[in-house]
Every structure is written in C-alpha cells, then in structure tokens.
Amino acid sequence: MNARPAPLPDLDGCISALSVVLGKNGLYTKREDLARYETGARYGAGRAAFVMRPSSTAEVAAALKICAQHHVIVVPQGANTGLVGASTPDESGRQAILSFERAASTLKVNHINRSIEVSAGVSLSKLNDFLESYGLWFPIDLGADPTIGGMIATNTGGTRFIRYGDVRRNVLGLEVVLYDGTILNFMNEVRKDNTGLDAKQLFIGTSGQYGIVTRAVLEVHPLPQNTATALIVPSSPAGALDILLELEEQFGPQLTSFEGISKTALAAVLDGVPQLRNPFLNEQLPLYSLLVEVSTWNKGGASLAVDEALERELERAFEAGEIENAFTQDAANLWSIRHHISDSLKLKGKVIALDVSVPRDRFVEFRDEACAEVKRLADFVLIADFGHLGDGGVHFNMIWPDGVPYDAERVERLRTAVYDLVAAHGGSFSAEHGVGPFNAHYYERYVPAAKQSIQHLIEEALASRSLGNTLP
C-alpha cells in the first residue's frame, strides 16, 4: 500500500493566521528580511517561506499549531551556528523558520540548588555573564556563541567535556512544544528521579526531530578559582595518551581540558591571526601539541596551587623524556589559539570538516591510518586535525587548496574513506555536530539498523505531530 502524498502547504492561509498571533515584529515575510536566516554557519542555504519570531512559549505553541493546520514544515533556529545544515530551510521556499532570537527573557537562578531556569533563546555568553555574579557558570566551552535551545537540540560537548560532560549531563528539566502545538512540561529541578521514562532525553541531541525546546533547567557549577594552563609538546603524537593517563592519575577531576592540535592547524592560526603570540617564537612548530587545563573550585591555600602542581608534573615528564617542551604563561593567548583554529583554516582553502570520535585507546591508530588514506587519495590535501583528545573526539579537518579545482566527488570519497575508518575503530561519524541534512546519507550508512528501527518507531508514534521534521 502506497503512502498518501503529503498535502501541499497553504502558505497564504498560514501567514494570515500567524500575523494575528505573532504581530508585525513576530513575523517576517519580505524577501529582504529573510536572507540572514537562510544560510548556515558552514553548510545549508535555502529559501524560507517566512520567518516566525515568537517571544514566549505560548506564541511558539500557537505558531506551531497554525503551521500544522496549514501543512507547513517548520525549521527551528537558534543562533544558526550549527555545522550540519539543520537550522536552515531547503530550497523549495515552502518551509518556515522559527527563530528564537526574541525568546530570551527568562534567567532564574536557584543558587542553593545550583540550577538555573533559562529561555531557549538565551545565548551561552549571556547565560555565563548572568551567572558570574553568583560565582557560577555553565561550563560547556565552545568556539561559537549558540543559544541554549540549540545546544540542547545538538547536545554540544566542547573543550571541557572531560570534566563536565556534554549538555545532556547538565540538563535537569525541559519545556518542549510538539509540532502540533502541544506543550510538554518536564521542568524538573531534581537530580534524581527514577519514576519511569526520562522523556526529556528524546529532545536532547535529536536536532528538533520530535519537538522544540522552549525552556530548560540547567545544572550549573562553581566558577574555578584556581586555574593552570599549559601547551605541551609530547615526544611523539603516540605519547599523547600516556601523558593524558599521567595527568588523570595526578589530578583526577581537576583535569578540565586535554586538547590536541596538529602542526598544520597551529600554523594556520599563527599565520591567520598575527596578533596572537607564537609561543615557539622562531623555533620550528611541533608535529603535535597538547593544550591542557587544570582547575579547582576551592578558594586560596598553598595546597591548592594547581599551577605549581602542574609545573612539577611537567618537570617530571620532561626528565622522563615524555615531553620535549611546555609553555605555561599567558593562558588567554593559548586558549585564543585554540578557539581561532576553525576560522583560520578557512583562509587556507575550502575546509572539509569531519567531527568524529573513537575510543581513546584507538585514537593514535585511527589518526595514522586516516592521514595515510587521505594522502593516498589526494596527496595535495592538507590535514589540519585538532580537538578533544581527552574524550576521544577529533575535528579531522582537511583543506582543499584554493589553487586546485574543487572536485565534489573526490571530496565525497575522502569523507567516506575517513568515516569508514572511524566505523572500523568503533567510533562515531558525528561526535558533536549532529546529523542534519548534510549528514543524512552517512546516518543511513553507519548507524546500526536496530537503532534506526527504534527511531522510526518513535517517529511513527509522533507522525501526526512531526510533519516531516525528522532525521532520515
């Protein structure tokens, strides 16, 4: 039996009804107003039918109900910093964008509970600016400045995952609106609740597939009071994991970051952002570097001097031949180097960005094999990998030089070859960035059939509500 074709959207009727609910400031229909919403940070560029800008959960629910009644597919959008094309419309001109830029009014901290209620449209920087006066922060550290709703939808990780985990680990409660306008209230503030299905998890990391997050209760953490940072040169890239284990044994949960940076990635930053100080001065850049951070919440006390403890550990590692060099001065400069990598790579050519993860013990073998395979398939392509070595994540970025005619089919072969190696090592082709339209065909290729089957069962249960707002 063939499925009935989806009804055509009634755009005029939808716009007419929405104008009553959202008003002039809450609904954009003119082409000149839509352009800035239609292109993603890296991938995704389409044509929107209109843009909705609700300012409350009630307006989100009313808007989604109207869109459902008029058969209009909705694409939720936060800060539009995503990297897989999930926050932009297709090219049909029939999809609507639901922007959260006006839904950013709620910030209610519970200092004793160490939690905060926050609107989905609040940016990460605004949240942490607000929390600072309470001596707290939301420690998901990213190069971009996304909204909280977008971070929840994609379950972002960041550079301090090794200590604080991903967004999922720090979400206590959610408010969600389904695509038919139904409001679900899971706004719990408790950390322990074994009363059955933890339904909020359906809406974390699924890119708005089942519904749209409008508010959240987040666990927040004390601001670090003592922090030490070092840029370390291991004796070999293969020795990086031995250093990681040593630091974990020495510092335990005080180890907050353990990032890897390849020579090509480091060189791109120092060439592209001349105001940053080169810690190596006139020395040759190392093949691989490690950016390490150790921090404590405790205030004062000689026994809590993590900078001295880190210095002693680095001296031991140097004497043992585990490291060749280390820099512990000017932490802000070292972190600026790390956060400028992605933008700096764009200056070298067209970036072929892969966000992958493998078990930590497989990282060195995977990296060696992936570099060799890329060189075999396209020896002119630069490899500029960096990322969260402490949790097995790596941004295995390749750069197609501007002087070489771009070959999309060859790029696809490169991507697939690297992803095949990731799968062979028990890893994930999308460690942090999500699936989205750009990665949909890789989802079909690499996600186990049993997992796909479970997802489709959930989709069928919500089919009358989703209107096609689904993953593959």
What average pLDDT does range 137-146 have in this prediction?
Answer: 87
**Domain boundaries of the chain, sorted by first residue:** 11-102, 107-222, 226-339, 349-433
Whether the predicted pLDDT of 354 surpasses 80: yes
pLDDT in tens, 401-455: 999 999 999 999 999 999 999 999 999 998 877 776 677 788 888 888 898 898 8
pLDDT band at 2 (very low <50, low <70, confident <90, very high): very low
Q: Which residue has the tokens 């003592």?
A: 226
Q: How confident is the model at residue 1 (pLDDT cuts 50, 70, 90)?
A: very low
Percent helix, strand and coil across the chain, each to the nearest 5: 40, 20, 40
Distance, in Å, from the CA atom of 301 to the CA atom of 298, rounded to the nearest integer, reads: 8
> What CATH class is the domain 107-222?
alpha beta
Other CB atoms within 10 A of residue 361 CB: 11
From residue 154, how far is each of 19, 428, 470 by CA, in Å? Answer: 30, 15, 14
Least confident of 288-297, 356-365, 436-445: 436-445
Q: Is the pLDDT of residue 171 over 90?
A: yes
Q: At how many degrees (to 10) do helices 263-272 and 331-339 cross?
A: 100
Q: What number is the average pLDDT over the span 162-184? A: 95
For residues 314 and 328, the answer to whether their CB atoms sit within 8 Å is: yes
Q: Any idea which architecture 11-102 has in CATH?
A: 2-Layer Sandwich (3.30)
Instruction: Report whether pLDDT(385) > 90.
Output: yes
Q: How confident is the model at residue 257 (pLDDT cuts 50, 70, 90)?
A: very high
Provide the pLDDT confidence category of residue 303 given band limits of 50, 70 and 90. very low
Helix axes 11-22, 57-69, angle to 10 degrees: 160
Is the per-residue pLDDT at 119 higher than 60?
A: yes
Please indicate whether the domains covering 226-339 and 349-433 agree at the CATH topology level. Answer: yes
Q: How many CA atoms lie within 13 A of 184 on its CB side?
A: 18
Fold classified for 226-339: Alpha-Beta Plaits (3.30.70)
Place of tokens 């940076």: 261
- Quick check: 335 pLDDT over 70? yes
Residue 164, C-beta contacts closer than 8 angstroms, at least 6 positions apart: 139, 140, 170, 221, 256
Which residues are within 8 A (CB) of 83 and not within 5 positions of it... i.e. 6 or more apart?
A: 40, 41, 42, 43, 353, 355, 433
* pTM score, whole prediction: 0.89
- Taking the C-alpha atoms of residue 150 and residue 337, their distance in angstroms, rounded to an integer, is 25
DSSP annotation of 291? E
- 466 vs 209, higher pLDDT: 209
Query: What DSSP element (H or E) covers 119?
Result: strand 115-119
- The token pair at 276 is 């940053």
Report pLDDT for 43.
59
301 pLDDT band, cuts 50/70/90, is low
- The neighbour count for residue 32, using CB atoms within 10 Å, is 7
Q: In the predicted model, what is the mean pLDDT of residues 14-32? A: 95
Q: Report the distance separating Cα 380 and Cα 390, nearest Å.
A: 30
CB proximity list for 131: less than 8 A, separation 6 or greater: 109, 116, 137, 138, 220
pLDDT tens digits, residue range 33-87? 999 998 876 656 789 999 999 999 999 999 999 999 999 999 999 877 765 556 7
Return d(Cα 368, Cα 371) in angstroms, integer.
5
**Mean pLDDT (the chain, rounded):** 90
Which tens digit of pLDDT belongs to each residue from 183-209?
Answer: 999 999 999 999 999 999 999 998 888
In the chain, the amino acid numbered 454 is: I
Question: What is the predicted pLDDT for the residue at 201?
Answer: 94
- Alpha-carbon 160 to chain mean position: 12
C-alpha–C-alpha distance, residues 120 and 110, integer Å: 18
Place of tokens 């942090």: 432
> Which pair of structure tokens corresponds to residue 290?
């490690």
Do the Cβ atoms of 243 and 323 come closer than 8 Å? yes
Q: What integer pLDDT is reported at residue 302 of this predicted model?
A: 45
Structure-token match 């949960």, residue found: 253
User: Among 211, 180, 212, which Cα is nearest to 68's?
Assistant: 180
pLDDT of the residue at 243: 96
User: Which amino acid type is present at position 252?
Assistant: G
Contact predicate 87/78, CB 8 Å = yes
Confidence of residue 458 (pLDDT cuts 50, 70, 90): confident
- Nearest-CA neighbor of 432 among 315, 377, 374, 354? 354
What 3-state class would DSSP assign to 401? strand
Higher confidence at residue 144 or residue 317? 317
* Three-state secondary structure call for residue 47: coil
- Are 445 and 189 contacting, i.e. CB atoms less than 8 angstroms apart? no
How far is residue 252's CA from residue 240's CA, in Å, rounded to a whole number? 17
Mean pLDDT of 10-14: 96
Architecture of domain 349-433: 2-Layer Sandwich (3.30)
Q: Who's near 2: CB < 8 A, 6+ residues apart? A: none
